Amino acid sequence: MSQEKPKEQMQNLIRVANADLKTGSSLFVGLTKINGVSFMFANAICKVLDLKKSMKVSELDDATITRIEQVIENPLKFNFPNWLLNRRRDPETGEDMHISLSDVKFVKENDIKLMKKIKSYRGMRHQWGLPVRGQRTKSNFRRNKGKAMGVKRKK
């Protein structure tokens, strides 16, 4: 004699745009768990769709979830400003677009491969395993493939 719980109580995760969101978190925090959605983009989604940022993810219905997925898929259709997109002036096409879900990792890897291929400064830093964005290397980044490097002194 097992007591069956209602469907709402059993569900701990809600699937939005191929990402599992915890039902206890707020909508604003939950949307940032989707690849390609930053806190600014999540804020814009809530504003465009007139959703409260503080509402729980468990309060979303199927129609709202599909609308959120449509916004993530094509934000320019919903009059998002260009500066909010994560891929402006794409090197291949020259278009402004927003990349999300599994495409983020794929595009990032391809960009790094291209930088290495053309032997740009950033590409070479990636290749050597050194910091790319101008950090100092005297005291930090002293690990090479998992092994710590010591200080070499003159004898």
pLDDT in tens, 91-118: 888 888 888 888 888 989 999 999 999 9
Question: Strands, DSSP E only, in the chain?
Answer: 13-16, 19-22, 143-144, 147-148
Whether residues 58 and 107 fall in one domain: no
Confidence of residue 145 (pLDDT cuts 50, 70, 90): low
Map tokens 């469907």 to a residue: 7
Mean pLDDT, all residues of the chain: 84
Average pLDDT over residues 138-146: 74
Across-strand partners of 97?
87
Full-model pTM: 0.72
Domain that holds residue 12: 7-84
User: Residue 5 pLDDT more than 50?
Assistant: no
Whether residues 64 and 118 fall in one domain: no
Among 53, 33, 35, 36, CA closest to 44: 53
Summarised one tens digit per residue, pLDDT across range 33-67 is 888 888 999 999 999 999 998 888 888 888 988 99
Domain presence at residue 39: yes
